[in-house]
């Protein structure tokens, strides 16, 4: 095992194939506890595919994803239980209220959850009893992100989390990520906009991938 | 609350808020069965003979009605990603969703089955066997149906495929269910076979559905 002894998330010569199309090949990178990795690159470069591989939803065509030096494929169940994935879809049921949406999601993820705190953190406390179908795009986004605060998990995989967020909400997210990092949490974020996250590394996905210093 | 109960509770809450799930299935069940006296004639002896078959075919169709949305709704709004990150194996998440589906659709059909029996002039001594058979058999309908629902979760307009995939797999349930209802004096054997079908479905259907859902996650 080449990554033995390394703490955190490691990606080792990863190849992703979607149908016949090779999205990227030989990709290596890593995130240490407290670290943030930005995924940047043009549309179709494989940012979302990489996030879904890291979440264990897609099996890589070659290479491996490691956690604390162990291949996550050895115990995919344990890997899925240690991460959050927030994608483009808002994961909300229109007939349930904001609080019900978050509490049902949290209950499926973990027995103990901090629903009220999470709603407050994203400024949704006064909307808690409003059915999700009445929420605006930005409010829906905030509610989807609120599960990051409701259920503590060490690895966050975020696919363009700031889309539809106003400046104040984006700042709330940045503060939450900063606190997450302070407790040793990690985040991999695909984004086109600049977020205020000091010390974040950037992985450029294009014809040739490379890790760029902050 | 365990993740399993959380999934059951969530699906029941959504069904209650959306409304109509149970009523729609029961109304469909009764209406389809009530068509047969018009089709085959109102002769009591004829109705009595076809009643078990009609009740079971109507119950199969009523179960199918809501099945296509079992996983598709979660796929479309991204909830499937959240379900897949639950600490419990996907097998149990599927099982929890099937249990909720049975409570919303299957159980009301069991309760409504005597009413349909009366409509079709089913002999009174067959009613206990009818209720026992629907109680034992409808879980298999929800379980096997979940396979079709999972296979078509990621396909646009995949719901129309569900009956084609699922109805052939319903044949064992149909045969033993009808056998138990048609001959109440000798219902024990078909009821046990019906129970066997449900138990095999209980193990295999969540396994197959979970595998199909993994493909939908890609």
User: Domain ranges in chain B?
Assistant: 3-217
Does the domain made of A1-82+154-214 have the CATH classification 3.40.50.300?
A: yes
- Please determine, for residue A2, whether its predicted confidence score (pLDDT) is greater than 80: no
Confidence of residue A209 (pLDDT cuts 50, 70, 90): very low
Give the separation between CA B108 and CA B16, rounded to whole angstroms. Answer: 14
Please give the torsion angle defined by the CA atoms of residues B81, B83, B87 and B92, in that order, rounded to the nearest 10 degrees.
-140
Contact state of B6 with A107 under an 8 Å Cβ cutoff: yes
**Distance to chain B for A3, nearest Cα, Å:** 25
pLDDT in tens, A37-53: 999 988 888 999 999 99
Interface test with B, best of A108, A146, A154, A155 (most B CBs within 10 A): A108
Q: What is the ipTM of this complex?
A: 0.89
Contact state of A55 with B85 under an 8 Å Cβ cutoff: yes
- Please determine, for residue A208, whether its predicted confidence score (pLDDT) is greater than 70: no
The residue assigned the tokens 């996030």 is: A51
Q: What is the pLDDT of residue A128?
A: 93
Partners of residue A108 in chain B, C-beta under 8 Å: 3, 6-7, 10, 82-83, 86, 93
Query: Do the strands A210-212 and A201-204 form a parallel or antiparallel pair, or are they unpaired?
Result: antiparallel
Give the separation between CA A18 and CA A41, rounded to whole angstroms. Answer: 18
- H/E segment holding residue B19: none
Give the separation between CA B145 and CA B66, rounded to whole angstroms. Answer: 10
- Please determine, for residue A211, whether its predicted confidence score (pLDDT) is greater than 60: no
Contact state of B18 with A77 under an 8 Å Cβ cutoff: no
Give the separation between CA B157 and CA B119, rounded to whole angstroms. Answer: 35
Residues 142-171 of A with CB under 8 A from B: 147
The residue assigned the tokens 């709330």 is: A172
Structure tokens at A150: 């409701």
Structure tokens at A51: 């996030």
pLDDT in tens, B39-98: 998 898 999 999 999 999 999 999 998 888 899 999 999 999 999 999 999 999 999 999
Q: Quick check: helix, strand or coil at residue A183?
A: coil
Mean pLDDT of B173-192: 94
Partners of residue B14 in chain A, C-beta under 8 Å: 93, 95-96
Partners of residue B7 in chain A, C-beta under 8 Å: 108
Give the separation between CA A48 and CA A59, rounded to whole angstroms. Answer: 14
Partners of residue A80 in chain B, C-beta under 8 Å: 84-87
Confidence of residue B15 (pLDDT cuts 50, 70, 90): very high
Contact state of A89 with B14 under an 8 Å Cβ cutoff: no
Contact state of B10 with A104 under an 8 Å Cβ cutoff: yes
- CB A164 within 8 Å of CB A174: no
Give the separation between CA A74 and CA A72, rounded to whole angstroms. Answer: 5
Interface test with A, best of B13, B82, B213, B217 (most A CBs within 10 A): B82
pLDDT in tens, A96-129: 999 999 999 999 998 888 999 999 999 999 999 9
- H/E segment holding residue A33: none
Whole-number Cα distances in Å, B206 to B144, B152, B170, B195: 9, 15, 16, 17
DSSP B29-90: HHHHHHHHHHHH-S-HHHHHHHHHHHHHHHHHHHHHHHHTHHHHHHHHTTHHHHHHTSSS-H
- CB A158 within 8 Å of CB A87: no
């Amino acid at each position: 095992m080449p990554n033995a002894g390394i703490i955190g998330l490691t990606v080792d010569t990863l190849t992703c194939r979607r149908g016949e199309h090779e999205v990227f090949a030989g990709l290596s990178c890593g995130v240490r506890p407290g670290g943030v990795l930005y995924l940047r690159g043009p549309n179709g470069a494989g940012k979302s595919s990489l996030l879904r591989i890291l979440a264990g939803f897609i099996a890589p065509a070659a290479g491996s994803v490691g956690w604390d030096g162990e291949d996550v494929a050895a115990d995919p169940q344990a890997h899925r239980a240690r991460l959050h994935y927030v994608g483009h879809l808002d994961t909300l049921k229109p007939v349930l209220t904001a609080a019900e949406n978050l509490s049902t999601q949290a209950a499926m993820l973990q027995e103990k959850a901090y629903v009220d705190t999470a709603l407050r953190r994203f400024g949704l406390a006064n909307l808690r009893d409003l059915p999700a179908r009445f929420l605006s795009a930005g409010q829906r986004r905030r509610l989807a992100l609120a599960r990051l605060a409701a259920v503590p998990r060490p690895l966050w995989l975020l696919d363009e989390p700031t889309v539809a967020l106003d400046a104040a909400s984006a700042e709330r997210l940045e503060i939450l990520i900063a606190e997450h990092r302070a407790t040793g949490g990690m985040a991999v974020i695909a984004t086109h906009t600049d977020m205020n996250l000091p010390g974040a590394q950037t992985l450029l996905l294009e014809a040739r991938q490379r890790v760029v210093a902050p | 609350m365990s993740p399993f109960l959380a999934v059951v509770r969530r699906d029941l809450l959504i069904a209650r808020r959306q409304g109509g799930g149970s009523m729609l299935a029961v109304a469909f069940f009764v209406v389809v069965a009530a068509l047969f006296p018009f089709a085959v004639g109102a002769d009591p002896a004829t109705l009595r003979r076809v009643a078990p078959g009609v009740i079971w075919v109507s119950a199969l169709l009523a179960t199918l009605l809501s099945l296509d949305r079992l996983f598709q709704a979660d796929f479309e709004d991204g909830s499937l990603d959240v379900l897949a990150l639950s600490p419990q194996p996907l097998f149990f998440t599927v099982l929890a969703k099937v249990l909720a589906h049975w409570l919303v659709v299957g159980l009301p059909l069991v309760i409504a089955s005597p009413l349909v029996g009366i409509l079709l002039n089913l002999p009174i001594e067959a009613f206990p066997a009818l209720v026992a058979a629907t109680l034992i058999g409808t879980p298999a309908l929800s379980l096997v149906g979940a396979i079709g629902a999972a296979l078509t979760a990621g396909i646009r307009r995949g719901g129309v495929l569900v009956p084609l995939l699922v109805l052939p797999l319903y044949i064992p349930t149909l045969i033993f269910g009808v056998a138990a209802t048609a001959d109440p004096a000798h219902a024990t054997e078909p009821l046990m076979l019906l129970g066997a079908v449900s138990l095999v479905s209980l193990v295999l259907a969540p396994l197959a559905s979970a595998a199909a859902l993994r493909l939908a996650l890609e």
